[in-house]
Amino acid sequence: MADNHIINDTTSLRDALAALNRLSGGEMTLLAVDDDGIMTGTLTDGDVRRALLDGVSLDSPVSEAMHRKFRAIHASDDDLDTMRRCRSMGIALLPRLDAAGRVAEVIDLTRTHTKLPLSAILMAGGRGERLRPLTDTCPKPLLEIDGKPIIDYNIEALSKCGIRDITVTTRYLADMIKAHFSEPRYGVEVECVEETEPLGTIGAVSLVSERTGTEATVVMNSDLLTTISFEDMYLHHRADNADITIAAVPYVVSVPYAILTTDGNRVSAIEEKPTYTHYANGGIYMISNSLLRTIEAGKRLDAPDFIDRAIAEGRRVTYYPVSGTWIDIGSPADFRQAQEIMRHHRYLSH
């Protein structure tokens, strides 16, 4: 809990201003509580200013200036819905209250956008053959895009969704990846597990200890550069009551000829230079933990075979269309494109 944001509502406004000043560089909001620790309001420097203009003195208690109609997450709330609503309102600091009304957690919505009940497994065992010689001495997930390892873009995105249970599966140059995650990244202690033999594109999931306390797991390639919304994908997964949701990338095929529609020898229509949109597997999945447990330990298994098996068993498999950036960094051309995109993003953010 962020104790530096908590203040007793009997504290003087003078001391409250000093506490706000110590928050400089972060979210400058105080959460006021009574002597029993029950939250009673919020206080910003604007609240103090308005109180002083109304004649309240600096020696008056916080309770005379605080905002009493505050937003919070309560035990009965849908966390995702509350956090989305607060984000849309521009609220940056959101307290989670226990059943008695005490502050159990302070969520900084500028850093943690949501709290998804998910674990994550990133597959990082490949050799990256097509990116040689870059990958001769560096595993592909650690290649830097605009000064930052590819895998770290994904760890950061997952952490912003409140996902803290993250595992990386390794094989090629595994020690380098383990060393990279020897310290927490974006507030997450990332666990690494190593394949002793190639287990395919999803078989290494069986090496990860069973997930508890989460509904499903994000399984994804670690060398993707994407701006996918994991929150929207999860809401889609939940609404469809899916066993597997596949991130799908639109793939457009343009035919440079007039295409005939036929019925036997009869032509029923003709279409000039049509365009068809298909959906390609984006290498990002949300999979129910109960289904993940069916992956046999130590056996090679590729994702398409796993999905085919799930479909054959009558499992519910859906797709979520990816919008925004999605690059599978598999070739030097992909790597150059990713570098250019991130330089452009950085330029726009300044």
Specify the domain boundaries for CATH 3.10.580.10 within the chain.
3-108
CA distance 176 to 150: 14
Q: What is the pLDDT of residue 1?
A: 47
Question: Are 165 and 211 in contact, with CB atoms under 8 Å apart?
Answer: yes
Considering the four listed CATH numbers 3.40.309.10, 3.40.50.720, 3.40.50.10140, 3.10.580.10, the one that applies to the domain covering 3-108 is 3.10.580.10
Tokens of 39: 């939250």
66: which 2 tokens? 């605080």
Angle at 151 between CA 145 and CA 157, to 5 degrees: 100
Concatenating the DSSP letter of every residue in 125-170 gives: ----GGGTTTTSSS-GGGSEETTEEHHHHHHHHHHHTT---EEEEE
* Interatomic CA distance for residues 298 and 195, integer angstroms: 9
**CATH 3.90.550.10 domain span(s) along the chain:** 118-247+283-349
Per-residue pLDDT of the chain (350 residues; tens, 9 = 90+): 457 899 999 999 999 999 999 887 778 899 999 999 999 999 999 999 999 999 999 999 999 999 999 989 887 777 888 888 888 888 888 899 998 999 988 888 888 888 899 999 999 988 888 888 888 888 999 998 888 999 999 999 999 999 999 999 999 999 999 999 999 998 899 999 999 888 998 999 999 987 777 889 999 999 888 989 999 999 999 999 999 999 999 989 999 999 999 999 999 999 999 999 899 999 999 999 999 999 998 899 999 999 999 999 999 999 999 988 888 888 888 888 888 877 766 544 44
DSSP string across 279-319: EEEEEEEEEEHHHHTTSPTT----HHHHHHHHHHTT--EEE
> Up-side HSE of residue 54: CA atoms within 13 Å toward CB?
10
What counts of helices (H) and strands (E) characterise the chain? 9, 18
The size of the chain, in residues, is 350
Which has the closest alpha carbon to 140: 342, 334, 350? Answer: 334
242, with CB counted inside 10 A (0-12, 13-18, 19+), is: buried
CA distance 230 to 342: 20
Instruction: State the CATH class of domain 118-247+283-349.
Output: alpha beta
